[in-house]
Structure 1
């Protein structure tokens, strides 16, 4: 029941990353919202989630992970109700931002509770495998479930779905989730604020190609470094960064989402813009890659429990890198069957990789820092994922220009394979 409750939190957070995408045209029509507002319905959630994950993890270490998980569930549910009732596009974006706040509390909190509840290396790896499988299932089911709910009851039903689920989760968390954390440390407010500004500005700069936001991210990052060096109880303790396993695992986690989410974007654009599939049909054709990503989570958990994280990480990265090179075979006259090996191989690779890389990251953290460790890991994945979407989308270009887009896919394949080759080297050097 504890694992089920924690997985429910992960499922809701990840589901809301993708479930709303297919409803954007309908939302724009009914709320008279233009394209920029529609984009911020997605990005408002993503930016705040990436910006506050580190602070959410640190709060759990100081105030107690159960309290933060319950607060996250409640905030997420209330914000979902606000989204469902939103009369205008601007109001909807505002409540999506509040959803991101709740998700930023919830996501590192569930992972920290899980690591405390299953302290043994083997049982922890198996639990992380189930947790990762549920995460992948949410990403896979988001577009399909969104299309089904949109057809059945309209876009507001996408958000009403969260309300009873979070209410049940709050009750379950209060009864089942043990109280961990509460280290007695003080909250590093200056570190939390400067980190949030840095991450939010960075993701905003990548999404909107805004130079001013990039400058702000650099300045806030410099402030964060100075603050953390002078703080008596820094939010990001130096011992975390001195751990080669922790640092290496988080770099690999970032590379995983940079390539994975970026490739999902360009493949979706290829299926719709080049091959001409409608949105729901394109989402169905992405299932062959999402299903192994979901189903391999528990299997990878058992492999990690038996062999440690190094072997599954290397196997997943190698398999994905080879699959990405298959994009070099794509031409203007080729169809779905040509890109399918890339997506299937990438799904298999990420299915092996996700559990192992999370296990390596949280396993490399010192005692009492599970919240911050999970916050760093989730921040790396969310931030690098957003950057990957922006970079791969820019490289591929407009799908309406078929020849240029196919050439961009070739570059994406080489770039993704190279990034994962570097991740293989990092894994070999840091994860023992």
Structure 2
């Protein structure tokens, strides 16, 4: 599969580059806002739609799975047919999905609408970056524009819980979705106005079989974990699904091996130790973070009885460091390479997660939760740019776009699996064992982070500034 890299296709805009940057950043902001905004709404959604914990897991994962499994195929389609078309289609799908979410009569309809949102997000995310890169042919200007794009994405993460809390407290949970509709319509109109029609330049067959199998692999593994938490790991339906997940995974690897360089996930890259470890680290980072966040949001509202806005405000110290530290961390990685920042990021985040294992219904926010969120958030701010840089540095320069796309896919897939696992372990917040099981989830994530810190300490990464690959 070809990469979504700078200059692929004729992405030159009809408007000033600054206008293009603003319009594309709006689309990117919406994609990442919906990664976190829904978390503070989960208790309200559960009450409003009479949804249990497994249904709430699917509300989160319906979006995450579509986003994770379709980003790489969407990037390839944009390379072939033009990213403007994909961005327009993505905005339309995201808007329709948002409207359907806001009007959903039940949990099943909401999950389906969230999946439509995820399809739109998957089209938007690689397309916005490709269009921005094409609008700034000068490399220095391009780097600054991409930095702004990344910064806007970082701001969306802390904005999600805060905006969500305000909307839920004042208008109800449906408005976290309905608010997207007028924004999406405005972004559609602006995109039609500022971007010329473009035509992709990449040729070759699209890896349709790999894309379809990738969707099925993620879907079946997520079903195994969520259904295992609901009906027990030894139930017949879970065992059948587990067998199917293993078979589909094997089929996916076989198809990708046969496709060679045209595969959605070229296995020659996956066999590079540094590339594989960077993406495993990215997946585990989101597995632990989004999994714990799912349980933590239920704890803050259903156990500590905070309002949605109160929970959103409480989470700001977790997400704000990402917006502040990630750009600084990116410059540090450029100077010293990704290895030390990855180790430091995992260790700091593990400290924060370990502190969460001390939280109880009556725990002081200042004594337990605040230091936990700060350590966890600072660790993520250091870690996020480092794992991306490590993946890119482990590939040839002409495949940097693909490396970044695979890394982003690994993060989203890890997050989806993390939500499934954490919800299965913790169970319902109405049970007497929920808090102790939340401690297990947080402690387990901390242990995983420490293990990855140790493994990364043994890896010799290339300096990210060289953008060269290991043999």
Q: Establish whether TM, by shorter chain, passes 0.5.
A: yes
User: For residue 349 of structure 1, what is the aligned residue in structure 2?
Assistant: 379
In structure 1, runs of 5+ residues without a counterpart are none
Measured after TM superposition, the shift of residue 346 of structure 1 is 0.4
User: For residue 210 of structure 2, what is the aligned residue in structure 1?
Assistant: 191
User: For residue 285 of structure 2, what is the aligned residue in structure 1?
Assistant: 256
Measured after TM superposition, the shift of residue 163 of structure 1 is 2.6
Question: Does the CA-based 8 Å contact 2:59-2:110 persist in structure 1?
Answer: yes
User: For residue 71 of structure 1, what is the aligned residue in structure 2?
Assistant: 89
Per-residue displacement from partner, 1:72-94 (whole Å, max 9, x unpaired)?
22321233234445566554443
Structure 2-normalised TM-score?
Answer: 0.78
Measured after TM superposition, the shift of residue 350 of structure 1 is 0.4
Q: Which has the higher helix share?
A: 1
Question: Does the CA-based 8 Å contact 1:126-1:298 persist in structure 2?
Answer: no
Measured after TM superposition, the shift of residue 101 of structure 1 is 1.0
Per-residue displacement from partner, 1:397-417 (whole Å, max 9, x unpaired)?
554556x55544554444223
Per-residue displacement from partner, 1:199-228 (whole Å, max 9, x unpaired)?
222223223324433322222221112212
Question: Does the CA-based 8 Å contact 1:61-1:370 persist in structure 2?
Answer: no
Structure 1-normalised TM-score?
Answer: 0.84
User: For residue 251 of structure 2, what is the aligned residue in structure 1?
Assistant: 223
Greater Cα shift, 345-354 or 152-161: 152-161
Per-residue displacement from partner, 1:311-368 (whole Å, max 9, x unpaired)?
4323222221233333454467643222321211000110111122223324444455
Q: 1:359 to 1:331 in 2, by over 3 A?
A: same
User: For residue 340 of structure 1, what is the aligned residue in structure 2?
Assistant: 370
In structure 2, runs of 5+ residues without a counterpart are 1-17, 229-237, 463-471
Q: 1:222 to 1:97 in 2, by over 3 A?
A: same
Measured after TM superposition, the shift of residue 373 of structure 1 is 3.2
User: For residue 157 of structure 1, what is the aligned residue in structure 2?
Assistant: 175
Q: 1:88 to 1:317 in 2, by over 3 A?
A: closer
Partner residue of 1:103 out of 102, 111, 121: 121
Report the Cα distance in structure 2 between the residues aligned to 1:382 and 1:133, rounded to whole angstroms: 19
Residue 283 of structure 1 pairs with residue 312 of structure 2: yes
Q: 1:425 to 1:316 in 2, by over 3 A?
A: same
Report the Cα distance in structure 1 between the residues aligned to 2:208 and 2:46, rounded to whole angstroms: 38
How many residues in Structure 1 have an aligned counterpart in Structure 2? Answer: 430
Per-residue displacement from partner, 1:357-393 (whole Å, max 9, x unpaired)?
2233244444554554344222211221122223334
Q: 1:421 to 1:87 in 2, by over 3 A?
A: closer
Residue 388 of structure 1 pairs with residue 418 of structure 2: yes
Report the Cα distance in structure 2 between the residues aligned to 1:20 and 1:206, rounded to whole angstroms: 21
